[in-house]
Structure 1
Amino acid sequence: MDFRKTLEQNGIRNLKEMLEPALSAGTKVLDYKWTYFTAPGDNYGSTMLSVLVDTLNAENEPKQLQLVAKMRPASEEFLEIFQIDTTFVKEAAVYSQIVPTMVKLQREMGIPEAETIDIFCRCYNARVSLDPNSTKVDADGVMLLENLKLDGYITEDRRRGFPCHIAVYILKKLSLFHAIPIALRHMKPNVFKSKLQKYLIKFDIDAGLGEQTIDKMVNVMRTDLIKAGVDTQLTERVMNMIGECRRRQSRLLSDEITPYCTMLHNDLWVNNMMIKYDADKKPLGLKFVDFQLIQSDSLVRDVLFFLLTSVSDPDLETSLDDYLEKYFYSLLSDLTKLKYPDLSQFTYESFLEEMNRIAPRELYHIVAMLRVVLARKESIPDHSELDAELFCNDNLVESDFYEKLLLVVNIYVKKGWV
């Protein structure tokens, strides 16, 4: 029986035993109901469920708790692609090990509680299997997370992206996410090694793809570039660079350790961020989600990937430097508050040098994801029919995809990155 049918027949098994220890003393789980939380096309690396739990507290008062359950992908192909035994463990470790370590450092450095990092949701509990000795994520593997939608957090339209002022807001949150692991690596290397580093090992996200699928994807990229208006000679230069990116990825080559090496989210696009707004559409809060691909590499990757996949600024080609400058000085401010002992390493000139060195290595990631980010929702099939070759279908994209692809290439050319 496939995963989806098993889930629909059995639900989340032993949810009571898993959830009760994380609730207030004396609270009992009575029953629960679930529905799918995300539509097809909004999440590929997992199955997301909305869970309504009936509870009885210590005073015998009935209450309902609304959670999000994150489980393995329904598609067998995506199960292989996302290498769930690695990625699920990475994400669970973010909540159980990494977040408490990051917050602890901030407190030790005298950071006020109101300024501690707040881009993570609450995780009630996580398991890979009902078998406590198993290291393999099976159909009973699940993370129970808070439902951010109940607190007013929303996911923006991935095809529209973020406007300029929200992009700057996100970059300032991202800089703190990057700054704390930088400080930990330098100031508390033993803590960094025991609490973070072992979960930041690089892996090849393409390793689960068949050779035929990879060849098809590469050929589609070349065709897309030509359709976007990139001339033949430049198309070949771009494809050669994409080939080099893929070779580095398959050989598990990480970026050199520099002051800018940190923990990456490594998948920071529209659907992996949720924002809360006030009545005037000003941001009140931001949460990052989906930490399945975390690894240790240059922070340039997160910054550039976010800006080129998820920002709707029509003048991005000319305003990119403004975003980079705002991010850098926010990073410098965060490191200063963390009492980083050698800030002389962090100059805007050295940051731009790091950008120029690393940007070529991020091109494949950006180009490959644009088809996902800009996919037409109405062309994406039901959960059970998703597969990797879906993203090779020309019916999936429209003119906005080709325009964005051309913009990315033009930026790379203008910056001398290709």
Structure 2
Amino acid sequence: MLPNWLTEEYLQPRLRTYYNDDRLKVLKIWSKAATGKGENFVGIMTRIYVNYQLGDGSVQEKSYIVKQALPEDVPQAEVFFEYELYTREMDMYEFVLPKMQKLLHEAGISGRLTADAITVDREHSTMILEDLAPLKYVNADRVKLLDLPHTKLTLEMLAKFHAAGAVLKQRHPELLTKCFYTHFFSRDKKGYTEVYTGMFRAFLRFVNGQPNLKKSYGDKLAKLSSHIMEYGARVFDVEENELQTLIHGDCWTTNVMFHYDAEGSPQSVVAIDFQLGSCTSPAVDLHYFLTTSLREEFKDRESELVVYHYNALKRNLEKLSYTGLIPSLQEYQVQFERRRFMSLLANLFKPIMIYNGSEETSDFSSLYKETPEGIRYQNAVYDSDVVLRNTTNLLALLDSKKLLDIQK
């Protein structure tokens, strides 16, 4: 359903500007939902189709993605506005991403980072974006997750993103306004405390339902539960000698899109959804991405993949003539290890990300509230052999590193 203000008269001047054709005429607009029920809790996404006539008389039909903020009366909208998710993404598409893309282009680093923004409309908290589907970009299977070629391609893209972000922070710090120094664990905000503590409660309920896991980790996790927001904040803290850049903040299977060759091999990748970008260590993105998106059989390649990302990041920073301190590989590995608690926090979302059952919800609070619907949904997403194996392996690793103990 199109918003009533999105008319031919509204869209025409914006397409004229984007295509640099002051005689372009919009003939017709129609739409359909761009995501299914339960696929997007943060906003409303619609794919619109537009018939328009160019100045040379030719007629074209193209599709675009319209991203709207949730109405303010929707219960979860309040917390999204508190963390400025919509302002942040509009800033990303209007100011930050175009500047990052320009920096990369000027340095001779090829490849696009994301879709173009046709228009950013702050009055309506809406963006109209290029539709990547006609360009043959598609999502990989979120249930099967990513193999090594997909993973390495994404790590290369993140390395370009992180390098451009570091240079942008150095040369154009005014573009990274206050919202880019806010994240879900910011100590001066409380809205997401209920979300994470509720999701951790669901996780603990699952662990306590598995006798072996309960025996090994139940008591430790129960004691840990009141500390997770502070430990999450420490993950985002950056020391003076560490590399700080703009991260994507939500890089997982569904937020990257791949282009394939005729044999079905991935050739390029772009990122989408930029509500959670913030300035911190790039290692935060690595933990989140590798935890949520890498196939289980490749988990033992983690150290190799960190080196792969580091080498690409260093190479891009040098091409961009970055004048800040570039960490050595050993220093970067220490920075990565220092943020390993992020893997536990990211893992709270993973059962939802890979869930392929019949229990649906469009209510964000079902992820974390102990309502009948919430508990039913949480139990459904955890009812999986894959989730059990992931959890068993992750908790064993974290426990071996003393990360399930109370920290000083």
So what's the TM-score if we normalise by structure 1?
Answer: 0.83
For residues 85 and 370 of structure 1, do their structure 2 counterparts lie closer, same or farther at Cα, with a shift above 3 Å needed? closer
> What is the CA–CA distance in structure 2 between the aligned matches of 1:410 and 1:374, rounded to whole Å?
21
Which whole-Å deviations, capped at 9, do the CAs of 1:9-50 have from their partners, x for residues lacking one?
Answer: 737353345444323311111220010011123222111111
> What is the CA–CA distance in structure 1 between the aligned matches of 2:357 and 2:131, rounded to whole Å?
23
For residues 214 and 294 of structure 1, do their structure 2 counterparts lie closer, same or farther at Cα, with a shift above 3 Å needed? closer
**Is 1:346 paired with 2:330?**
no
Match of 1:88 in 2: 86
For residues 253 and 276 of structure 1, do their structure 2 counterparts lie closer, same or farther at Cα, with a shift above 3 Å needed? closer
**Is 1:120 paired with 2:114?**
yes
Q: 2:363 aligns with which of 386, 396, 412?
A: 386
Greater CA drift, 46-55 or 196-205: 196-205
> What is the CA–CA distance in structure 1 between the aligned matches of 2:3 and 2:84, rounded to whole Å?
27
> What is the CA–CA distance in structure 1 between the aligned matches of 2:334 and 2:95, rounded to whole Å?
33
Q: 1:280 aligns with which of 242, 251, 263?
A: 263
> What is the deviation of 1:320?
1.4
Contact 1:46 1:71 in 2 (8 A): yes
> What is the deviation of 1:104?
3.6
- How many residues end up aligned between the 2 structures? 387
> What is the CA–CA distance in structure 1 between the aligned matches of 2:161 and 2:193, rounded to whole Å?
34
Match of 2:202 in 1: 220
Q: 1:145 aligns with which of 118, 125, 129?
A: 129
Match of 2:97 in 1: 99
For residues 141 and 278 of structure 1, do their structure 2 counterparts lie closer, same or farther at Cα, with a shift above 3 Å needed? same
**Is 1:161 paired with 2:168?**
no
Contact 1:241 1:363 in 2 (8 A): no
Q: 1:365 aligns with which of 341, 345, 348?
A: 345
> What is the deviation of 1:150?
0.7
| AA in 1 matched with 2:398 | Y
Q: 1:179 aligns with which of 151, 159, 163?
A: 163
The DSSP-based 3-state class of the residue aligned with 2:38 is: coil
Match of 2:371 in 1: none
Match of 1:401 in 2: 387
| AA in 2 matched with 1:380 | E
For residues 276 and 289 of structure 1, do their structure 2 counterparts lie closer, same or farther at Cα, with a shift above 3 Å needed? same
| AA in 2 matched with 1:311 | L
Q: 2:355 aligns with which of 352, 375, 379?
A: 375
> What is the CA–CA distance in structure 1 between the aligned matches of 2:227 and 2:38, rounded to whole Å?
29
Contact 2:93 2:120 in 1 (8 A): no
> What is the deviation of 1:286?
0.7
> What is the CA–CA distance in structure 2 between the aligned matches of 1:95 and 1:332, rounded to whole Å?
25
| AA in 1 matched with 2:388 | Y
**Is 1:62 paired with 2:59?**
yes
Contact 1:246 1:364 in 2 (8 A): no
> What is the deviation of 1:72?
1.7
For residues 340 and 255 of structure 1, do their structure 2 counterparts lie closer, same or farther at Cα, with a shift above 3 Å needed? closer
**Is 1:297 paired with 2:318?**
no
For residues 106 and 374 of structure 1, do their structure 2 counterparts lie closer, same or farther at Cα, with a shift above 3 Å needed? closer
| AA in 1 matched with 2:77 | L
> What is the deviation of 1:214?
6.1
> What is the CA–CA distance in structure 2 between the aligned matches of 1:85 and 1:348, rounded to whole Å?
33
Q: 1:333 aligns with which of 294, 315, 318?
A: 315
Match of 1:24 in 2: 20
5+ unaligned residues in a row in structure 1: which ranges? 1-6, 130-139
Which whole-Å deviations, capped at 9, do the CAs of 1:46-65 have from their partners, x for residues lacking one?
Answer: 11111001111112322112
> What is the CA–CA distance in structure 1 between the aligned matches of 2:241 and 2:223, rounded to whole Å?
26
> What percent identity do the matched residue pairs reach?
18
Contact 2:70 2:77 in 1 (8 A): yes
Which whole-Å deviations, capped at 9, do the CAs of 1:165-196 have from their partners, x for residues lacking one?
Answer: 2111111111111112223444x3xx2x1122
> What is the CA–CA distance in structure 2 between the aligned matches of 1:46 and 1:355, rounded to whole Å?
31
Match of 1:132 in 2: none
> What is the deviation of 1:124?
0.4
For residues 173 and 210 of structure 1, do their structure 2 counterparts lie closer, same or farther at Cα, with a shift above 3 Å needed? closer
The DSSP-based 3-state class of the residue aligned with 2:65 is: strand
RMSD over aligned CA atoms reads 2.8
5+ unaligned residues in a row in structure 2: which ranges? 369-374
So what's the TM-score if we normalise by structure 2?
Answer: 0.85
The DSSP-based 3-state class of the residue aligned with 1:76 is: coil
> What is the deviation of 1:159?
1.5
